[in-house]
Structure 1
Amino acid sequence: MRVTDSQFNAIMQRALMDNNIRLNRVFEQMSTGKKLNHLSDDPIAAVRLEGLKKNISDNQQYQRNIENVQSQLTRYETNINTLEELSQQINELLLQGKNGALDTESRAGIVLELKSLKEEMLTTLNQKNEGSYLFSGTDIFTAAIDTTTYAFTGNNDYRQTKVGDDQYVNNNLTITDVIGSNVIFTSLDSAIAELEAPTVGFEAALGTALESNQQVHQTILELLTDIGSQYNSLDRQKETSIDMVFFAETVTTSLEELDYAEASTELNQSMIALEATQKTFARIAGISLFDLI
Protein backbone atom coordinates (compact mmCIF):
# COMPACT_ATOMS: atom_id res chain seq x y z
CA MET A 1 0.00 0.00 0.00
CA ARG A 2 1.43 3.33 -1.06
CA VAL A 3 1.38 6.15 1.53
CA THR A 4 1.14 9.60 -0.05
CA ASP A 5 2.69 12.72 1.43
CA SER A 6 -0.71 14.02 2.49
CA GLN A 7 -1.53 10.75 4.27
CA PHE A 8 1.85 10.77 5.99
CA ASN A 9 1.37 14.36 7.11
CA ALA A 10 -2.11 13.55 8.47
CA ILE A 11 -0.76 10.55 10.40
CA MET A 12 2.09 12.53 11.91
CA GLN A 13 -0.13 15.48 12.78
CA ARG A 14 -2.56 13.11 14.46
CA ALA A 15 0.29 11.59 16.46
CA LEU A 16 1.50 15.05 17.49
CA MET A 17 -2.03 16.08 18.48
CA ASP A 18 -2.53 12.89 20.56
CA ASN A 19 0.76 13.49 22.34
CA ASN A 20 -0.18 17.11 23.04
CA ILE A 21 -3.58 16.06 24.40
CA ARG A 22 -1.93 13.50 26.67
CA LEU A 23 0.62 16.08 27.81
CA ASN A 24 -2.00 18.74 28.48
CA ARG A 25 -4.09 16.21 30.40
CA VAL A 26 -1.14 15.43 32.70
CA PHE A 27 -0.39 19.15 33.16
CA GLU A 28 -4.03 19.76 34.15
CA GLN A 29 -4.01 16.83 36.55
CA MET A 30 -0.86 18.09 38.24
CA SER A 31 -2.20 21.63 38.52
CA THR A 32 -5.54 20.53 40.05
CA GLY A 33 -4.25 17.54 42.00
CA LYS A 34 -7.10 15.44 40.57
CA LYS A 35 -7.04 12.47 38.20
CA LEU A 36 -10.54 13.24 36.96
CA ASN A 37 -11.19 16.76 35.73
CA HIS A 38 -13.58 15.94 32.89
CA LEU A 39 -16.11 13.18 32.30
CA SER A 40 -14.08 12.11 29.26
CA ASP A 41 -11.02 11.37 31.45
CA ASP A 42 -12.70 8.18 32.71
CA PRO A 43 -16.49 8.04 32.17
CA ILE A 44 -17.03 4.96 34.37
CA ALA A 45 -14.97 6.35 37.25
CA ALA A 46 -16.64 9.76 36.90
CA VAL A 47 -20.13 8.26 37.20
CA ARG A 48 -19.03 6.21 40.20
CA LEU A 49 -17.50 9.32 41.75
CA GLU A 50 -20.80 11.21 41.46
CA GLY A 51 -22.58 8.34 43.20
CA LEU A 52 -20.02 8.36 46.02
CA LYS A 53 -20.33 12.12 46.48
CA LYS A 54 -24.11 11.82 46.72
CA ASN A 55 -23.70 9.04 49.27
CA ILE A 56 -21.40 11.25 51.34
CA SER A 57 -23.76 14.23 51.14
CA ASP A 58 -26.80 12.11 52.06
CA ASN A 59 -25.12 10.50 55.07
CA GLN A 60 -23.78 13.80 56.34
CA GLN A 61 -27.35 15.12 56.20
CA TYR A 62 -28.57 12.02 58.04
CA GLN A 63 -26.03 12.73 60.78
CA ARG A 64 -27.30 16.29 61.16
CA ASN A 65 -30.88 15.00 61.21
CA ILE A 66 -30.01 12.46 63.90
CA GLU A 67 -28.39 15.15 66.03
CA ASN A 68 -31.50 17.31 65.69
CA VAL A 69 -33.78 14.43 66.72
CA GLN A 70 -31.51 13.60 69.66
CA SER A 71 -31.56 17.24 70.73
CA GLN A 72 -35.37 17.15 70.61
CA LEU A 73 -35.44 13.91 72.60
CA THR A 74 -33.24 15.49 75.25
CA ARG A 75 -35.65 18.41 75.45
CA TYR A 76 -38.60 16.04 75.88
CA GLU A 77 -36.69 14.01 78.46
CA THR A 78 -36.07 17.14 80.56
CA ASN A 79 -39.77 18.01 80.62
CA ILE A 80 -40.91 14.45 81.22
CA ASN A 81 -38.46 14.13 84.12
CA THR A 82 -40.14 17.20 85.58
CA LEU A 83 -43.55 15.53 85.18
CA GLU A 84 -42.23 12.36 86.83
CA GLU A 85 -41.07 14.36 89.86
CA LEU A 86 -44.41 16.19 90.05
CA SER A 87 -46.31 12.91 89.83
CA GLN A 88 -44.20 11.45 92.62
CA GLN A 89 -44.91 14.43 94.86
CA ILE A 90 -48.65 14.24 94.07
CA ASN A 91 -48.61 10.56 95.01
CA GLU A 92 -47.04 11.31 98.39
CA LEU A 93 -49.53 14.10 99.13
CA LEU A 94 -52.52 11.96 98.20
CA LEU A 95 -51.29 9.19 100.49
CA GLN A 96 -50.96 11.73 103.29
CA GLY A 97 -54.39 13.11 102.49
CA LYS A 98 -56.00 9.67 102.85
CA ASN A 99 -55.06 9.69 106.50
CA GLY A 100 -58.41 10.31 108.22
CA ALA A 101 -56.66 11.58 111.35
CA LEU A 102 -55.43 14.76 109.62
CA ASP A 103 -56.81 18.00 111.02
CA THR A 104 -58.36 20.73 108.89
CA GLU A 105 -55.17 22.81 108.80
CA SER A 106 -53.06 19.88 107.56
CA ARG A 107 -55.57 19.06 104.82
CA ALA A 108 -55.56 22.73 103.78
CA GLY A 109 -51.78 22.58 103.40
CA ILE A 110 -52.04 19.46 101.23
CA VAL A 111 -54.71 21.16 99.10
CA LEU A 112 -52.45 24.14 98.43
CA GLU A 113 -49.57 21.89 97.41
CA LEU A 114 -51.75 19.71 95.19
CA LYS A 115 -53.17 22.76 93.41
CA SER A 116 -49.66 24.10 92.87
CA LEU A 117 -48.36 20.76 91.54
CA LYS A 118 -51.37 20.41 89.23
CA GLU A 119 -50.74 23.87 87.75
CA GLU A 120 -47.06 23.08 87.30
CA MET A 121 -47.96 19.85 85.52
CA LEU A 122 -50.30 21.72 83.16
CA THR A 123 -47.62 24.34 82.52
CA THR A 124 -45.08 21.63 81.69
CA LEU A 125 -47.47 19.93 79.27
CA ASN A 126 -47.95 23.29 77.54
CA GLN A 127 -44.21 23.91 77.40
CA LYS A 128 -42.88 25.68 74.29
CA ASN A 129 -39.62 25.56 72.40
CA GLU A 130 -38.86 28.49 70.11
CA GLY A 131 -42.56 29.33 69.93
CA SER A 132 -43.74 25.76 69.22
CA TYR A 133 -45.73 23.70 71.72
CA LEU A 134 -43.83 20.50 72.47
CA PHE A 135 -46.70 18.12 73.20
CA SER A 136 -49.28 19.31 70.64
CA GLY A 137 -48.42 16.84 67.89
CA THR A 138 -48.11 18.58 64.54
CA ASP A 139 -50.41 21.43 65.66
CA ILE A 140 -47.42 23.25 67.12
CA PHE A 141 -49.14 26.63 67.49
CA THR A 142 -51.97 25.29 69.68
CA ALA A 143 -51.54 24.51 73.37
CA ALA A 144 -51.52 20.80 74.16
CA ILE A 145 -54.20 21.06 76.86
CA ASP A 146 -56.85 23.53 77.94
CA THR A 147 -55.93 24.47 81.51
CA THR A 148 -59.59 24.99 82.46
CA THR A 149 -61.47 22.10 80.85
CA TYR A 150 -58.41 19.81 80.50
CA ALA A 151 -59.43 19.05 76.92
CA PHE A 152 -56.54 18.04 74.64
CA THR A 153 -56.42 20.85 72.10
CA GLY A 154 -53.48 19.76 69.91
CA ASN A 155 -53.41 16.50 67.94
CA ASN A 156 -51.73 13.10 68.16
CA ASP A 157 -49.87 13.28 64.85
CA TYR A 158 -46.13 12.84 64.47
CA ARG A 159 -43.47 14.68 62.51
CA GLN A 160 -40.91 12.41 60.89
CA THR A 161 -37.25 12.91 60.14
CA LYS A 162 -35.19 10.90 57.64
CA VAL A 163 -32.15 9.36 59.34
CA GLY A 164 -31.14 6.82 56.70
CA ASP A 165 -32.02 5.44 53.29
CA ASP A 166 -35.74 4.65 53.57
CA GLN A 167 -35.51 5.08 57.35
CA TYR A 168 -37.60 7.64 59.24
CA VAL A 169 -38.13 8.31 62.95
CA ASN A 170 -40.70 10.34 64.85
CA ASN A 171 -39.20 13.55 66.22
CA ASN A 172 -42.01 14.54 68.59
CA LEU A 173 -44.14 13.23 71.45
CA THR A 174 -47.78 14.04 72.11
CA ILE A 175 -49.64 14.71 75.32
CA THR A 176 -51.39 11.35 74.92
CA ASP A 177 -47.98 9.65 74.89
CA VAL A 178 -47.20 11.28 78.22
CA ILE A 179 -50.36 11.08 80.35
CA GLY A 180 -52.74 8.96 78.29
CA SER A 181 -55.88 10.96 79.13
CA ASN A 182 -57.03 13.94 81.17
CA VAL A 183 -58.39 11.73 83.98
CA ILE A 184 -55.45 12.65 86.19
CA PHE A 185 -56.65 16.27 86.34
CA THR A 186 -60.36 15.59 86.83
CA SER A 187 -59.60 13.05 89.56
CA LEU A 188 -57.19 15.47 91.22
CA ASP A 189 -59.90 18.14 91.26
CA SER A 190 -62.29 15.69 92.91
CA ALA A 191 -59.67 14.73 95.51
CA ILE A 192 -58.91 18.39 96.23
CA ALA A 193 -62.61 19.13 96.66
CA GLU A 194 -62.93 16.26 99.16
CA LEU A 195 -59.89 17.45 101.08
CA GLU A 196 -61.40 20.92 101.29
CA ALA A 197 -64.84 19.66 102.36
CA PRO A 198 -64.95 15.91 103.09
CA THR A 199 -68.08 13.94 102.18
CA VAL A 200 -68.99 10.28 102.16
CA GLY A 201 -67.13 10.01 98.87
CA PHE A 202 -63.81 11.06 100.44
CA GLU A 203 -62.09 7.65 100.36
CA ALA A 204 -63.30 6.86 96.84
CA ALA A 205 -62.21 10.23 95.44
CA LEU A 206 -58.69 10.03 96.88
CA GLY A 207 -58.41 6.38 95.83
CA THR A 208 -59.36 7.25 92.25
CA ALA A 209 -56.87 10.14 92.20
CA LEU A 210 -54.11 7.88 93.52
CA GLU A 211 -54.84 5.21 90.93
CA SER A 212 -54.94 7.75 88.08
CA ASN A 213 -51.71 9.35 89.21
CA GLN A 214 -49.95 6.00 89.54
CA GLN A 215 -51.02 5.06 86.02
CA VAL A 216 -49.61 8.34 84.72
CA HIS A 217 -46.43 7.80 86.71
CA GLN A 218 -46.00 4.33 85.19
CA THR A 219 -46.62 5.70 81.68
CA ILE A 220 -44.02 8.41 82.26
CA LEU A 221 -41.41 5.90 83.48
CA GLU A 222 -42.00 3.69 80.44
CA LEU A 223 -41.74 6.73 78.17
CA LEU A 224 -38.42 7.75 79.73
CA THR A 225 -37.10 4.24 79.10
CA ASP A 226 -38.32 4.44 75.51
CA ILE A 227 -36.62 7.81 74.99
CA GLY A 228 -33.33 6.36 76.23
CA SER A 229 -33.73 3.40 73.88
CA GLN A 230 -34.47 5.69 70.92
CA TYR A 231 -31.47 7.87 71.74
CA ASN A 232 -29.14 4.84 71.83
CA SER A 233 -30.61 3.49 68.60
CA LEU A 234 -29.96 6.84 66.91
CA ASP A 235 -26.39 6.77 68.23
CA ARG A 236 -25.86 3.43 66.50
CA GLN A 237 -27.46 4.75 63.32
CA LYS A 238 -25.18 7.78 63.44
CA GLU A 239 -22.09 5.57 63.84
CA THR A 240 -23.17 3.53 60.82
CA SER A 241 -23.62 6.73 58.82
CA ILE A 242 -20.17 7.98 59.89
CA ASP A 243 -18.61 4.68 58.77
CA MET A 244 -20.37 4.93 55.41
CA VAL A 245 -19.05 8.46 54.89
CA PHE A 246 -15.52 7.35 55.80
CA PHE A 247 -15.66 4.44 53.35
CA ALA A 248 -17.09 6.60 50.54
CA GLU A 249 -14.47 9.31 51.15
CA THR A 250 -11.69 6.72 51.04
CA VAL A 251 -12.91 5.34 47.71
CA THR A 252 -13.45 8.88 46.41
CA THR A 253 -9.86 9.77 47.27
CA SER A 254 -8.53 6.72 45.43
CA LEU A 255 -10.58 7.63 42.34
CA GLU A 256 -10.11 11.37 42.38
CA GLU A 257 -6.79 12.36 43.91
CA LEU A 258 -3.68 12.29 41.77
CA ASP A 259 -0.63 10.15 42.48
CA TYR A 260 2.09 12.73 41.74
CA ALA A 261 4.85 10.13 41.36
CA GLU A 262 2.79 8.28 38.78
CA ALA A 263 1.84 11.55 37.06
CA SER A 264 5.50 12.66 36.91
CA THR A 265 6.45 9.39 35.23
CA GLU A 266 3.61 9.80 32.71
CA LEU A 267 4.64 13.41 32.09
CA ASN A 268 8.23 12.40 31.30
CA GLN A 269 7.04 9.61 29.01
CA SER A 270 4.66 11.97 27.20
CA MET A 271 7.37 14.59 26.69
CA ILE A 272 9.81 11.96 25.39
CA ALA A 273 7.16 10.58 23.03
CA LEU A 274 6.27 14.09 21.81
CA GLU A 275 9.91 14.96 21.21
CA ALA A 276 10.53 11.71 19.33
CA THR A 277 7.47 12.27 17.15
CA GLN A 278 8.52 15.83 16.37
CA LYS A 279 12.05 14.74 15.40
CA THR A 280 10.75 11.89 13.25
CA PHE A 281 8.29 14.18 11.50
CA ALA A 282 10.94 16.85 10.88
CA ARG A 283 13.47 14.35 9.57
CA ILE A 284 11.09 12.52 7.23
CA ALA A 285 9.34 15.69 6.08
CA GLY A 286 12.74 17.15 5.12
CA ILE A 287 13.66 14.26 2.84
CA SER A 288 13.55 15.14 -0.90
CA LEU A 289 14.19 13.07 -4.04
CA PHE A 290 16.81 15.68 -4.98
CA ASP A 291 18.83 14.51 -1.97
CA LEU A 292 19.06 11.10 -3.56
CA ILE A 293 20.20 12.29 -7.02
Structure 2
Amino acid sequence: MRVTDSQFNAVMQRSLMDNNIRLNKVFEQMSTGLKLNHLSDDPIAAVRLEGLKKTVSDNQQYQRNIENVQSQLTRYETNVNTLEELSQQVNELLLQGKNGTLDAQSRAGIVLELKSLKTEMLTTLNQANEGSYLFSGTNITNQAISTTPPYTLNSNLDYRETKVGNDQYVPSNLTVTDVIGTNAIFTDLDNAIAELEVPTAGFSPALDSALDTNQALHQNLLVSLTDIGSQYNALDRLKETSIDMVFFAETVRSELEELDYAQASVELNQGMIALEATQKTFARVAGISLFDLI
Protein backbone atom coordinates (compact mmCIF):
# COMPACT_ATOMS: atom_id res chain seq x y z
CA MET A 1 0.00 0.00 0.00
CA ARG A 2 1.41 3.37 -1.02
CA VAL A 3 1.70 6.02 1.67
CA THR A 4 1.20 9.52 0.31
CA ASP A 5 2.93 12.61 1.67
CA SER A 6 -0.35 13.88 3.13
CA GLN A 7 -0.94 10.61 4.96
CA PHE A 8 2.59 10.63 6.29
CA ASN A 9 2.23 14.21 7.45
CA ALA A 10 -1.07 13.41 9.18
CA VAL A 11 0.45 10.43 11.01
CA MET A 12 3.47 12.42 12.14
CA GLN A 13 1.39 15.39 13.24
CA ARG A 14 -0.90 13.05 15.18
CA SER A 15 2.11 11.50 16.87
CA LEU A 16 3.50 14.92 17.77
CA MET A 17 0.13 16.00 19.16
CA ASP A 18 -0.21 12.81 21.27
CA ASN A 19 3.29 13.36 22.69
CA ASN A 20 2.44 16.97 23.51
CA ILE A 21 -0.80 15.90 25.24
CA ARG A 22 1.07 13.36 27.36
CA LEU A 23 3.73 15.94 28.27
CA ASN A 24 1.15 18.60 29.11
CA LYS A 25 -0.61 16.09 31.36
CA VAL A 26 2.62 15.34 33.22
CA PHE A 27 3.41 19.07 33.49
CA GLU A 28 -0.05 19.70 34.97
CA GLN A 29 0.31 16.79 37.40
CA MET A 30 3.68 18.05 38.61
CA SER A 31 2.27 21.54 38.95
CA THR A 32 -0.75 20.47 41.06
CA GLY A 33 0.83 17.47 42.78
CA LEU A 34 -2.21 15.39 41.78
CA LYS A 35 -2.53 12.42 39.47
CA LEU A 36 -6.19 13.18 38.82
CA ASN A 37 -6.94 16.70 37.68
CA HIS A 38 -9.83 15.92 35.35
CA LEU A 39 -12.54 13.27 35.31
CA SER A 40 -11.17 12.10 31.96
CA ASP A 41 -7.78 11.30 33.52
CA ASP A 42 -9.25 8.14 35.11
CA PRO A 43 -13.08 8.04 35.35
CA ILE A 44 -13.18 4.94 37.57
CA ALA A 45 -10.59 6.33 39.99
CA ALA A 46 -12.38 9.69 40.00
CA VAL A 47 -15.65 8.05 41.08
CA ARG A 48 -13.84 6.12 43.81
CA LEU A 49 -12.19 9.34 44.92
CA GLU A 50 -15.54 11.09 45.34
CA GLY A 51 -16.79 8.17 47.42
CA LEU A 52 -13.70 8.32 49.63
CA LYS A 53 -14.08 12.07 50.11
CA LYS A 54 -17.69 11.53 51.22
CA THR A 55 -16.54 8.82 53.64
CA VAL A 56 -14.02 11.21 55.17
CA SER A 57 -16.53 14.07 55.37
CA ASP A 58 -19.28 11.90 56.90
CA ASN A 59 -17.01 10.35 59.51
CA GLN A 60 -15.53 13.68 60.51
CA GLN A 61 -19.09 14.90 61.07
CA TYR A 62 -19.85 11.75 63.10
CA GLN A 63 -16.84 12.52 65.29
CA ARG A 64 -18.11 16.05 65.92
CA ASN A 65 -21.56 14.67 66.71
CA ILE A 66 -20.08 12.13 69.12
CA GLU A 67 -18.12 14.85 70.90
CA ASN A 68 -21.30 16.95 71.21
CA VAL A 69 -23.22 14.02 72.70
CA GLN A 70 -20.37 13.27 75.10
CA SER A 71 -20.37 16.92 76.15
CA GLN A 72 -24.09 16.63 76.87
CA LEU A 73 -23.57 13.39 78.81
CA THR A 74 -20.91 15.10 80.92
CA ARG A 75 -23.39 17.87 81.71
CA TYR A 76 -26.01 15.29 82.71
CA GLU A 77 -23.46 13.41 84.80
CA THR A 78 -22.64 16.60 86.74
CA ASN A 79 -26.29 17.22 87.54
CA VAL A 80 -27.07 13.60 88.42
CA ASN A 81 -24.02 13.56 90.71
CA THR A 82 -25.39 16.65 92.41
CA LEU A 83 -28.76 14.96 92.89
CA GLU A 84 -27.08 11.85 94.27
CA GLU A 85 -25.18 13.91 96.85
CA LEU A 86 -28.36 15.78 97.81
CA SER A 87 -30.21 12.49 98.20
CA GLN A 88 -27.54 11.24 100.60
CA GLN A 89 -27.88 14.38 102.70
CA VAL A 90 -31.68 14.01 102.74
CA ASN A 91 -31.29 10.43 103.94
CA GLU A 92 -29.03 11.50 106.83
CA LEU A 93 -31.42 14.25 107.91
CA LEU A 94 -34.45 11.96 107.81
CA LEU A 95 -32.62 9.44 109.97
CA GLN A 96 -31.77 12.20 112.43
CA GLY A 97 -35.38 13.35 112.38
CA LYS A 98 -36.54 9.93 113.51
CA ASN A 99 -34.71 10.42 116.80
CA GLY A 100 -37.52 10.91 119.31
CA THR A 101 -35.26 12.74 121.76
CA LEU A 102 -34.67 15.74 119.47
CA ASP A 103 -35.63 19.08 120.92
CA ALA A 104 -37.70 21.62 119.03
CA GLN A 105 -34.66 23.65 117.97
CA SER A 106 -32.91 20.61 116.46
CA ARG A 107 -36.04 19.61 114.57
CA ALA A 108 -36.40 23.15 113.26
CA GLY A 109 -32.82 23.01 111.97
CA ILE A 110 -33.52 19.72 110.17
CA VAL A 111 -36.68 21.18 108.64
CA LEU A 112 -34.76 24.17 107.27
CA GLU A 113 -32.10 21.92 105.77
CA LEU A 114 -34.66 19.54 104.23
CA LYS A 115 -36.53 22.45 102.64
CA SER A 116 -33.26 23.81 101.25
CA LEU A 117 -32.25 20.41 99.86
CA LYS A 118 -35.66 19.88 98.27
CA THR A 119 -35.41 23.30 96.56
CA GLU A 120 -31.90 22.50 95.33
CA MET A 121 -33.04 19.15 93.92
CA LEU A 122 -35.91 20.81 92.03
CA THR A 123 -33.54 23.52 90.75
CA THR A 124 -31.10 20.86 89.53
CA LEU A 125 -33.87 18.98 87.71
CA ASN A 126 -34.87 22.24 86.02
CA GLN A 127 -31.34 23.07 84.87
CA ALA A 128 -31.20 24.69 81.43
CA ASN A 129 -28.41 25.04 78.89
CA GLU A 130 -28.71 28.00 76.52
CA GLY A 131 -32.45 28.16 77.19
CA SER A 132 -33.08 24.41 76.74
CA TYR A 133 -34.19 22.48 79.81
CA LEU A 134 -31.96 19.42 80.17
CA PHE A 135 -34.40 16.91 81.64
CA SER A 136 -37.50 17.86 79.63
CA GLY A 137 -37.19 15.30 76.83
CA THR A 138 -37.90 17.00 73.52
CA ASN A 139 -40.15 19.53 75.26
CA ILE A 140 -37.11 21.68 75.96
CA THR A 141 -38.97 24.98 76.41
CA ASN A 142 -40.76 23.81 79.58
CA GLN A 143 -39.33 23.03 82.98
CA ALA A 144 -38.95 19.32 83.70
CA ILE A 145 -40.92 19.49 86.95
CA SER A 146 -43.09 22.08 88.66
CA THR A 147 -41.59 23.47 91.86
CA THR A 148 -44.82 23.45 93.87
CA PRO A 149 -47.20 20.61 94.84
CA PRO A 150 -48.20 18.31 93.24
CA TYR A 151 -44.78 18.61 91.50
CA THR A 152 -46.09 17.77 88.05
CA LEU A 153 -43.63 16.20 85.61
CA ASN A 154 -43.89 18.48 82.59
CA SER A 155 -41.43 16.77 80.30
CA ASN A 156 -42.20 14.04 77.77
CA LEU A 157 -40.35 10.76 77.53
CA ASP A 158 -38.91 11.41 74.05
CA TYR A 159 -35.23 11.51 73.18
CA ARG A 160 -33.25 13.83 70.96
CA GLU A 161 -31.33 11.50 68.67
CA THR A 162 -27.98 12.26 67.06
CA LYS A 163 -26.45 10.46 64.09
CA VAL A 164 -23.07 8.97 65.02
CA GLY A 165 -22.58 6.48 62.17
CA ASN A 166 -24.14 5.05 59.04
CA ASP A 167 -27.78 4.44 60.03
CA GLN A 168 -26.70 4.69 63.69
CA TYR A 169 -28.32 7.11 66.12
CA VAL A 170 -27.93 7.59 69.87
CA PRO A 171 -30.02 9.58 72.36
CA SER A 172 -28.36 12.77 73.53
CA ASN A 173 -30.55 13.47 76.53
CA LEU A 174 -32.02 12.06 79.74
CA THR A 175 -35.55 12.76 80.90
CA VAL A 176 -36.65 13.63 84.41
CA THR A 177 -38.34 10.22 84.60
CA ASP A 178 -35.05 8.50 83.71
CA VAL A 179 -33.41 10.21 86.66
CA ILE A 180 -35.95 10.26 89.52
CA GLY A 181 -38.55 7.75 88.37
CA THR A 182 -41.55 9.54 89.90
CA ASN A 183 -42.24 12.78 91.73
CA ALA A 184 -43.17 10.90 94.94
CA ILE A 185 -39.99 11.96 96.74
CA PHE A 186 -41.05 15.60 96.87
CA THR A 187 -44.54 14.85 98.13
CA ASP A 188 -43.11 12.49 100.75
CA LEU A 189 -40.53 15.10 101.76
CA ASP A 190 -43.30 17.64 102.29
CA ASN A 191 -45.12 15.15 104.53
CA ALA A 192 -41.94 14.41 106.49
CA ILE A 193 -41.23 18.13 106.92
CA ALA A 194 -44.80 18.70 108.14
CA GLU A 195 -44.37 15.89 110.66
CA LEU A 196 -41.12 17.36 111.97
CA GLU A 197 -42.70 20.81 112.26
CA VAL A 198 -45.61 19.46 114.31
CA PRO A 199 -44.57 16.02 115.56
CA THR A 200 -47.16 13.51 116.69
CA ALA A 201 -46.69 11.07 119.50
CA GLY A 202 -44.25 8.39 118.34
CA PHE A 203 -44.08 10.06 114.91
CA SER A 204 -46.30 9.19 111.94
CA PRO A 205 -45.16 6.90 109.08
CA ALA A 206 -44.27 10.05 107.08
CA LEU A 207 -40.56 9.85 107.90
CA ASP A 208 -40.35 6.15 107.07
CA SER A 209 -42.18 6.70 103.81
CA ALA A 210 -39.83 9.56 102.88
CA LEU A 211 -36.83 7.39 103.73
CA ASP A 212 -38.07 4.56 101.51
CA THR A 213 -38.85 6.89 98.62
CA ASN A 214 -35.48 8.63 98.94
CA GLN A 215 -33.63 5.32 98.95
CA ALA A 216 -35.46 4.33 95.76
CA LEU A 217 -34.47 7.70 94.28
CA HIS A 218 -30.86 7.18 95.29
CA GLN A 219 -30.78 3.77 93.63
CA ASN A 220 -32.29 5.25 90.47
CA LEU A 221 -29.64 7.97 90.42
CA LEU A 222 -26.84 5.40 90.73
CA VAL A 223 -28.32 3.45 87.79
CA SER A 224 -28.47 6.67 85.77
CA LEU A 225 -24.80 7.39 86.49
CA THR A 226 -23.89 3.87 85.38
CA ASP A 227 -25.90 4.28 82.18
CA ILE A 228 -24.21 7.62 81.43
CA GLY A 229 -20.78 6.04 81.89
CA SER A 230 -21.69 3.11 79.63
CA GLN A 231 -23.00 5.43 76.91
CA TYR A 232 -19.88 7.58 77.12
CA ASN A 233 -17.60 4.54 76.74
CA ALA A 234 -19.66 3.20 73.83
CA LEU A 235 -19.32 6.57 72.10
CA ASP A 236 -15.56 6.46 72.66
CA ARG A 237 -15.46 3.15 70.79
CA LEU A 238 -17.61 4.54 67.98
CA LYS A 239 -15.31 7.54 67.72
CA GLU A 240 -12.24 5.30 67.44
CA THR A 241 -13.95 3.32 64.67
CA SER A 242 -14.78 6.56 62.86
CA ILE A 243 -11.18 7.78 63.19
CA ASP A 244 -9.96 4.48 61.71
CA MET A 245 -12.40 4.88 58.81
CA VAL A 246 -11.08 8.37 58.07
CA PHE A 247 -7.47 7.13 58.22
CA PHE A 248 -8.21 4.26 55.84
CA ALA A 249 -10.12 6.48 53.40
CA GLU A 250 -7.40 9.15 53.49
CA THR A 251 -4.73 6.52 52.81
CA VAL A 252 -6.58 5.12 49.78
CA ARG A 253 -7.40 8.65 48.59
CA SER A 254 -3.73 9.59 48.79
CA GLU A 255 -2.76 6.55 46.71
CA LEU A 256 -5.37 7.42 44.07
CA GLU A 257 -4.89 11.15 43.95
CA GLU A 258 -1.42 12.23 45.00
CA LEU A 259 1.35 12.25 42.44
CA ASP A 260 4.47 10.12 42.69
CA TYR A 261 7.04 12.72 41.60
CA ALA A 262 9.75 10.14 40.92
CA GLN A 263 7.48 8.25 38.54
CA ALA A 264 6.27 11.50 36.99
CA SER A 265 9.89 12.56 36.35
CA VAL A 266 10.56 9.28 34.55
CA GLU A 267 7.43 9.75 32.41
CA LEU A 268 8.46 13.32 31.67
CA ASN A 269 11.93 12.27 30.50
CA GLN A 270 10.50 9.46 28.39
CA GLY A 271 7.99 11.83 26.86
CA MET A 272 10.65 14.41 26.04
CA ILE A 273 12.84 11.74 24.42
CA ALA A 274 9.90 10.41 22.39
CA LEU A 275 8.92 13.91 21.29
CA GLU A 276 12.46 14.75 20.26
CA ALA A 277 12.78 11.49 18.30
CA THR A 278 9.47 12.08 16.54
CA GLN A 279 10.45 15.65 15.64
CA LYS A 280 13.81 14.53 14.23
CA THR A 281 12.20 11.73 12.24
CA PHE A 282 9.56 14.05 10.83
CA ALA A 283 12.12 16.69 9.91
CA ARG A 284 14.42 14.17 8.24
CA VAL A 285 11.72 12.36 6.25
CA ALA A 286 9.89 15.54 5.34
CA GLY A 287 13.14 16.99 4.00
CA ILE A 288 13.81 14.10 1.56
CA SER A 289 13.42 15.04 -2.10
CA LEU A 290 13.73 13.02 -5.33
CA PHE A 291 16.41 15.48 -6.39
CA ASP A 292 18.49 14.26 -3.42
CA LEU A 293 18.38 10.77 -4.90
CA ILE A 294 19.48 11.71 -8.48
Q: Which interval holds the TM-score relative to the shorter structure?
A: over 0.9
Confirm or deny: 8 A CA contact 2:100 2:202 kept in the other structure.
Answer: no
Residue 4 of structure 1 aligns with an amino acid whose one-letter code is: T
In the TM superposition, residue 208 of structure 1 has moved relative to its aligned partner by 1.0
Which digits, 9 at most, give the CA deviation of each residue in 1:248-279, with x for residues without a partner? 11111111111111111100000111111111
Counterpart of 1:38 in structure 2 is 38
Offset at residue 200 of structure 1 (A): 6.4
Q: Residue 256 of structure 1 corresponds to which residue in structure 2? A: 257
Give 1:107-146 correspondences, 5 Å limit.
Answer: 107-146=107-146
TM-score computed with the length of structure 2 as normaliser: 0.96
Does structure 2 retain, via aligned residues, the 8 Å contact 1:98–1:203?
no
Q: Which residue of 2 aligns with 1:230?
A: 231
Amino acid at match of 1:260: Y
Tell whether 2:285 aligns with 1:284: yes
Give the superposed CA RMSD.
Answer: 1.3
Q: Deviations over 1:181-220 (max 9, x none)?
A: 1101111111111111123694311111111111110000
Q: How many aligned residue pairs are there? A: 293
TM-score normalised per structure 1: 0.97
Q: Aligned partner of 1:151: which letter?
A: T
Match of 2:200 in 1: 199
1:191 touches 1:202 (CA, 8 Å); kept in 2?
A: no
2-side partners of 1:289 and 1:160: how far apart? 87
The one-letter code matched in structure 2 to 1:28 is E
Question: Is the 2:56–2:250 contact (alpha carbons within 8 Å) kept by the matching residues of 1?
Answer: yes
The 2-side partners of 1:287 and 1:34 are apart by 43
SS in 1 for 2:13: helix
Write the deviation string for residues 82-137 of structure 1: whole angstroms up to 9, x where unpaired. Answer: 00000000011111111222222211111111000000000000011112111111
User: How far, CA to CA, are the matches of 1:80 and 1:210 in structure 2?
Assistant: 19
Pairing of 1:16-55 with structure 2 (within 5 A): 16-55=16-55
Match of 1:95 in 2: 95
- Distance in structure 1 (CA, Å) of the matches to 2:82 and 2:193: 22
**Counterpart secondary structure, 2:162:** strand
1:286, distance to aligned residue in structure 2 (A): 1.9
> What is the CA deviation profile of residues 46-79 of structure 1, one whole-angstrom value per residue up to 9, with x for unaligned ones?
1111111111111111111111111111011001
- Aligned residue in 1 for 2:156: 155
Separation in 2, partners of 1:123, 1:63: 32
